[in-house]
Amino acid sequence: MMFLSSMLFFPCVVRQFCNSEFWIDAWDVELFCFNFGYQILIINHFTFLLMGSTFFQNQTLRRLREH
């Protein structure tokens, strides 16, 4: 469970260490991270969260390669 939680919050950690130029809209990322907690506690829809986490990880890696 700890591993799952840390993986889900990975995009939020990346957001803290990356410049906003890495993101199309940094504000959307901030809201995305903020909503993570509520989705885990209320919805418990882990499939959606995992898909979102994977998407953001892939986007980050792609942008890091481009720079």
Percent of the chain scored above 70 by pLDDT? 15
Taking 50 as the threshold, does the pLDDT of residue 23 lie above it?
A: no
Rounded Cα distance between 24 and 34, Å, is: 17
Instruction: Please identify which residue in the block is written with the tokens 């898909």.
Output: 51
- At residue 34, the pLDDT reads 55
Percent of the chain scored above 90 by pLDDT? 0
- At residue 36, the pLDDT reads 59
Backbone angles phi, psi at 25, to 5 degrees: -145, 105
Q: Is the pTM of this model over 0.85?
A: no
Query: What burial class does residue 43 get, using C-beta atoms within 10 Å of its C-beta: 0-12 exposed, 13-18 middle, 19+ buried?
Result: exposed
- Cα separation values, 45 from 4, 13, 39, 54, 57, Å: 12, 21, 7, 15, 19
